Structure 1
Amino acid sequence: MSSQEDVAAEPGPDTMGSSSSSSSSSSTENDATTGDIITVTIGATVPTGFEHTAAEEIKEKIGVDARISKDRGRVYFPITTDKLFQVHLLRSVDNLFVVVEEYDHYQFKESKEETLMELQQLASKLSWTNALEVWKLNRTLKKKKGYRKGGNGNKVKPTSEATDAAAADTEQQELLQGASAAESQTKAESTPDVDSSAQDSGEAAPPEAKLIKFRVTCNRAGDKHSFSSNEAARDFGGAVQEFFQWKADMTKFDVEVLLNIHNEEVIIGIALTEESLHRRNISHFGPTTLRSTLCYGMLRLCKPQVSDIILDPMCGTGAIPLEGAIEFNSSFYIAGDNYDMAVNRTVNNICHIQKRRAEKGSASGLPIDTVRWDLCNLPVRTSSVDIIITDMPFGKRMGSKKKNWDLYPSCLREMARVCRPGSGKAVLLTQDKKCFSKAISRMGGLWKKLLTVWVNVGGLHAGVYLLKRTGAVFGQTPEDVYESRGKVNTQGDEKDDKQLS
C-alpha cells in the first residue's frame, strides 16, 4: 500500500546543510530580476479524479497544454509571467504553486542518513530566482485583487495600507536580492562562518529582511522511502534556512516551500495560494459542504447549455447551483432541499455572493432560485428539467446506509419523472456505490450510465455518475416494483470497493 503524509515541519536547530552554493546555471537570472517576461511551470492541485477536467479548462482559458502528474490530483502547465493573473481565475484548481525544479526519476540513497544529507545539499543547488520572481509578482497581484490573506495575514498589525505595502515590497526585493546572490559563486568578501554571516547579513541588510519567514511542507507518497515526510521537511527546511538566512515560522510565514515526493518523482515548488481557491463561494457551511472545485468538475461533465433548466434537489448549502450560476450563467438553477436549515444556508450563501458582487460594482443578480420541497415528490412539471446535479447522502454524516435503500430508488424515480426523456442528464455524487447501482437497476431502463469518475471526498472513495435519461416514458415501465431489503445482499460493499480502488 502506498502511504500519503502531509507534514509541515519546522527545521530543527541541529540540522546541517551546505552554506556555500554550487551555483546552478544563472542564465535566466537577468531575465527574472530585470522584470522581463519569463516562462515558468505552474503546478496545481485539483480534486482527485478531475485532472482531465482541469487540463481542459487550462487549455480553454489559458491556451496551453497541461501535463497530468503520476501523483493523482496534480497538473502542471507552462505560463508566462504576464499571464500569471489568469491562473487565479481557474475554477477547477484548489491550490497553486510555481515549480522550482522537478525530477522524474530521482534516485534516493538506500540509507536514510545518506538520503537526508542529499536533500540538504539539494537546497543549495537549485535555481530559485525565477520561482521567487513569480512569488513576488503573485503577492502584488493578490494585493491588487484583494485576495483573502492566509496564515501570514496577521503577521503585521494594521497601521496603514501604504505602510504594509511598502514593507512587503521591501521584503520581496530583499528576498530576490538574496536569491540572486546565493545562486552566484561565493564572493571573496562573504564570511564562511554561518553564525557570523547571519549577523553580517542582519547589519548589512535593511531591518525588513529579518521579517522574511518560511516553512517547508512535505507531501510524500510511496512505500519504498527510508524516511518520513517529517524528516524530509525538517532536513530540507534546515538547508533552505541556512541558504537564504530566512526565519522558520510554522504559522505566520511569508514563503511556503513545497517538497512533493511521489515514488521517484520529486518536485520542489513555492506556494502561490495561502488559502485554497475552493473556498470562494460558501460563507455558511453545512456538515457536508462540497468543494467549489469539485462542483465545477461535476458541472462540466453535464455541459450546461444556454437556457437549460438545472435542478439540485438536495442542495445542502447550495454549493453546486451557486458555482453553476456564477460560471455557467446562461442556464437557470433551482436549488431545493427538504430541510429548513439547508434552505436557509443556501439563501444566505446566495445573498453573500450577491452582496459581494454589488460591492465590486458588477451585476449582483444570479440565475438561481431556492425552494423547500420533498425531494421524492417535487413540485416540478413532468419532463421539464434539462439537467439534475446533486450530492446524494452517503449515509455517513447525513442519513444512513439503511435509509438509502429506500431513498435512492424513490429520488431516482422522481428525478426520471421531471427530467426530459431522450436528452436530459443527471450528474450524481455518492459514496454508497452498492445501493446506487442497485437502485439504477430497478429503474426499468429510465436511466443509462454514460460515465463514472472516481473521486476522493474527505478521504472517502466516491463516484460521480453521469447518467442520461432514456426515451422511455415515465409510468410505462416497471420502475415502481420494490424489492424487499431483506433479499438484498449488502455484503458486497467491501468487495465492490476493492474492485473499484
Structure 2
Amino acid sequence: MSSQGDEAAEQGPETVGSALSSSSAETDATSGDFITVTIGATVPTGFEHTAAEEIKEKIGVDARISKDRGRIYFPITTDKLFQVHLLRSVDNLFVVVEEYDHYQFKESKEETLMELQQLAAKLPWTNALEVWKLNGTLKKKKGHRKGGNGAKVKPNSEAGDAAIADTEDQDLSQAVSAAEGQKKAEETPDTETCTQDAEETSPGAKLIKFRVTCNRAGDKHSFSSNDAARDFGGAVQEFFQWKADMTKFDIEVLLNIHNEEVVIGIALTEESLHRRNISHFGPTTLRSTLCYGMLRLCKPQASDIILDPMCGTGAIPLEGAIEFNSSFYIAGDNNDMAVNRTVNNVCHIQKRRADKGSVSGLPIDTVQWDLCNLPIRTSSIDIIITDMPFGKRMGSRKKNWDLYPSCLREMARVCRPGSGKAVLLTQDKKCFSKAISRMGGLWRKQHTVWVNVGGLHAGVYLLKRTGAVFGQTPEDVYESRGPANTQGDDKDDKELS
C-alpha cells in the first residue's frame, strides 16, 4: 500500500548548505569522490545464490542474501551504478537508506506507528537521494539514446514530465540539503527560524511527488502494511515537504518489513528489469530473470546446441542467445501461435539491435513440431531447457500424466548420453517425479531449485543424461498411448514460455 498524506505540515526541516547542482553527482564520479552505498535487489525466489554469483562475477563484490526470500544486498560505489542496471538476474533495484536486523516493534499498534513516524526524521537520507538523482541522469541518457521514447518506459508518466525534469534538479537540491541539514536542525531549538528558512527557499518551485510502498511479512506485527505506509509516508511528507501521489510519483520510498528485519530504501527502477526481451506475450510468458537463472544452472559452453522443445514466446532461447551467445539455440512448439510469437520476438530484438548499429543476428532457429516426435537426430543435443505445462493455464493435470513420460523419453533420445543435461520447470511435481522414476535408466535428477512462479510453488529440476544407449533400457519398452493423448485434444495445451 502507498502513503496518502492529506496535509503538509506547517513546520519543515532547516535548509542549509549550498544546493546540489544538476551535475554534482556526475562531478563526484569524474573527480573520483565516490559515494559507497548499499543496493538492494529483488530476484526470482530460489535464485538468490545465482544472482549473488553474477554480482561477484560482473561487479566484483560479495552479495548478502536476505532472510526475506527473493532479496539480496550488495555494496557499490556510485561510479559502478550503471553496471547494476546491466545485471540479468535482478528484477527491481533500490538504494538502501537504512536497515535494521532486529527492530524491536512496540506491542501496541499506536506506539509502533508513532515510532515509525518519528523514524522518518532520523534516517540518513543524503547519500540515498544523491544516488537516486544520479540514477535519474543515467535513465535520461538511456531515454535519449532511444529517441526520447519515455512514454513506453513509464506508462503512468504525466504529460508534464518535461517540466518535472526541468525542475527536478532544483527540487532534489532542496531535498538533499534538507537531509544534510538534518543533524543541525535537530540541534537548533529555534524552530520558527527553521520554518521561515524552508518557506523562503525557492518559492514557487514544483514539489516532488512521492509515495511509500510497504512490503510486510510476518505474523507478529500489530499493524498492517497500509497502516505502516500511511503513517511513515505522512512523516516523510512532513519532513521533506513533498507531495504524496500514489500513481504519478517521482520518488518511491520502500518500507520492507520481514519479521524483525526492517529496510528503508528508495526505488531505482520504474518497472522490473525482467521486461527486456519480450514484445509479444503469451498466457504463460516466463520472466527473463527466471530464464537467466535456469540458463546459469546448466552452464552453457561455447558451441553447445541448446533445445527448448516447448518454447512458447521464446523467452528462454532469447535470453540465452543474448547472454550466452556462443551457444546455438533451437526453439520449437506444436502451437502455430506460439511459434509466431517467438519469431516476432526474435525479429523485435534484431531490429532493436540494428537500430543501435550493433550486430543484429541471433543464434536461434524456430521450428513448429510434434513434441513427442522431434525432427532432430538422436544424441545431437547438449542441453534441453524448457518450461513444462503446469496443467493450470495450459493443458491439464490429467493430460500431464501421458505427456510427461512421452516428452521425457523423446528428450532422452535427442540428448547426448553421458554429457547431456536438462533443466525443466514445472509446478506439477507429483506427475514429474513419477515420470522421472519411469525414466530411471535415461535420466538422473541432480539438483532442484524451488521457485515462485506467479504465486505457484514450482521446481526447476536439473537432470543429467545417463550413459545408457537409447533403445536399450527397460524404459524404452514403455509404449505411449498415442499422439492424440500425449499431445492433447487442443494444440495450445503445451504453449509455454
By the TM > 0.5 criterion, same fold? yes
Which residue of the partner structure matches residue 71 of structure 1? 68
Q: Which residue of 1 aligns with 2:248?
A: 252
* Aligned AA (2:40): G
Identify which range, 472-481 or 123-132, moves more after superposition. Answer: 472-481
After superposition, the C-alpha distances for 1:68-126 in whole angstroms (9 at most, x for unaligned) are 00000000000000111000000000000000000000000000000000000000000
Query: Is the CA contact 1:334–1:368 (under 8 Å) kept in the aligned structure 2?
Result: yes
- Counterpart of 1:225, as a letter, is H
Match of 2:472 in 1: 476
Once residues 383 and 427 of structure 2 are traced to their aligned partners in structure 1, the CA distance between those partners, rounded to angstroms, is 21
Inter-CA distance 279–110: structure 2 relative to 1 (3 Å threshold): same
Aligned to 1:288: 284
**1:348 is matched with which residue?**
344
Q: Which of 121, 124, 129 is equivalent to 1:124? A: 121
Match of 1:8 in 2: 2
CA distance in structure 1 between the aligned counterparts of 2:78 and 2:335, rounded to whole angstroms:
47
Which of 114, 130, 139 is matched with 1:133 structurally? 130
Aligned to 2:20: none
TM-score by length of 1: 0.87
**1:443 and 2:443 aligned:** no
Matches of 1:328 and 1:484 in 2, distance apart? 35
- 2: CA distance between counterparts of 1:84 and 1:262? 26
Please give the residue correspondences for 1:321-360 in structure 2 after superposition, counting only pairs within 5 Å. 321-360=317-356
Which residue does the alignment assign to 1:154? 157
Q: Deviations over 1:246-294 (max 9, x none)?
A: 0000011011000000000000000000000000000110000000000
Q: Secondary structure at the match of 1:320?
A: helix
Residue 88 (structure 2) aligns with: 91
Q: Which runs of 4+ in 1 moved over 6 A?
A: 15-18, 31-34
Q: Deviations over 1:273-324 (max 9, x none)?
A: 0000000000110000000000000000000000000000000000000000
**Pairwise CA distance, 1:155:** 2.2
For the 8 Å contact 1:151–1:253, the answer to whether it is kept is: no
Could you tell me which residue of structure 1 aligns to residue 171 of structure 2?
171
Match of 1:496 in 2: none
Q: Which residue of 2 aligns with 1:191?
A: 192
Residue deviations 1:337-388 (CA, integer Å, cap 9, x gap)? 0000000000111111111111111111111110000111100000000000
Residues 395-421 of structure 1: per-residue CA shift (max 9 Å, x gap): 000000000000000100000000000
Equivalent residue letter for 1:66: A
Query: Which residue identity is paired with 1:177?
Result: S
Ranges in structure 1 where 5+ consecutive residues have no aligned partner: 1-6, 24-30, 486-501
User: Which deviates more from structure 2 when the two are superposed, residues 150-159 or residues 274-283?
Assistant: 150-159
- Whether the 8 Å CA contact 1:425–1:469 is kept in 2: the answer is yes
- Pairing partner for 2:425 from 421, 424, 429: 429
Answering whether residue 201 of structure 2 is matched by residue 204 of structure 1, we say yes
Give 1:104's aligned amino acid.
D
CA distance in 1, matches of 2:324, 2:404: 28
The 2-side partners of 1:40 and 1:294 are apart by 27
1 CA distance for matches of 2:479 and 2:169? 68
With the length of structure 2 as denominator, give the TM-score of the two structures: 0.88
- Contact 1:127 1:183 survives alignment (8 Å): no
Do residues 412 (structure 1) and 408 (structure 2) align? yes
Distance change >3 Å, CA 458–CA 374, structure 1 → 2: same
> What is the aligned partner in structure 2 of residue 489 from structure 1?
none
Among 438, 441, 463, which residue is 2:459 paired with?
463
Report whether the alignment pairs 1:361 with 2:350.
no
Rounded Cα–Cα distance in structure 1 between residues aligned with 2:178 and 2:203: 12
Name the CA distance, whole Å, in 2 between partners of 1:56 and 1:316. Answer: 28
The whole-number CA distance in structure 2 between the counterparts of 1:438 and 1:338 is 24
Distance 1:334 1:206, change over 3 A: farther
**Deviation of the 1:171 alpha carbon:** 3.1
Distance 1:246 1:158 in 2: 17
Residue 93 of structure 1 aligns to a residue whose secondary structure is: coil
Runs of at least 5 residues in structure 2 that lack an aligned partner in the other structure: 17-23, 482-497
* Structure 1 pair 175–16 and aligned structure 2 pair: CA distance change class (3 A): closer
Cα distance in 1 for partners of 2:81, 2:191 equals 35
Equivalent position of 1:57 in the other structure: 54
Cα distance change on mapping 1:311 and 1:205 into 2, 3 Å: same
Contact 2:156/2:247, CA 8 A, preserved across alignment: no
Distance 1:189 1:151, change over 3 A: farther
CA distance in 2, matches of 1:421, 1:17: 74
Query: Residues 477, 217 of structure 1: CA spacing in aligned structure 2 closer, same or farther, 3 A cutoff?
Result: same
Deviates more, 1:436-445 or 1:46-55: 436-445
Distance 1:326 1:484 in 2: 37
Report which stretch shifted further, 394-403 or 473-482. 473-482
In 1, the alpha carbon distance for the partners of 2:263 and 2:161 equals 36
Q: CA deviation at 1:484?
A: 11
> How has the CA–CA distance of structure 1 residues 442 and 213 changed in structure 2, closer, same or farther, with 3 Å as cutoff?
same
Q: Distance in 1 between matches of 2:374 and 2:164?
A: 54
CA separation of 1:416 and 1:105: change in aligned 2, threshold 3 A:
same
Contact 1:102 1:267 in 2 (8 A): yes
Looking at structure 2, the residues matched to 285 and 238 of structure 1 have their Cα atoms a distance apart, in angstroms, of 39
- The correspondence for 2:375, drawn from 374, 379, 383, is 379
Tell me how many residue pairs correspond in the alignment.
462
Supply the distance in 2 between the matched residues of 1:54 and 1:434 (Cα, whole angstroms): 28
Is the Cα–Cα contact under 8 Å of residues 402 and 480 in structure 2 kept in the other structure?
no
Matched-pair contact (CA < 8 Å) for 1:315–1:342: yes
Pairwise CA distance, 1:211: 3.2
**Partners of 2:370 and 2:384 in 1: how far apart?**
15
C-alpha distance in structure 1 between counterparts of 2:42 and 2:95, whole Å: 12
CA displacement at 1:202 relative to structure 2? 5.5
Q: Which amino acid aligns with 2:116?
A: L
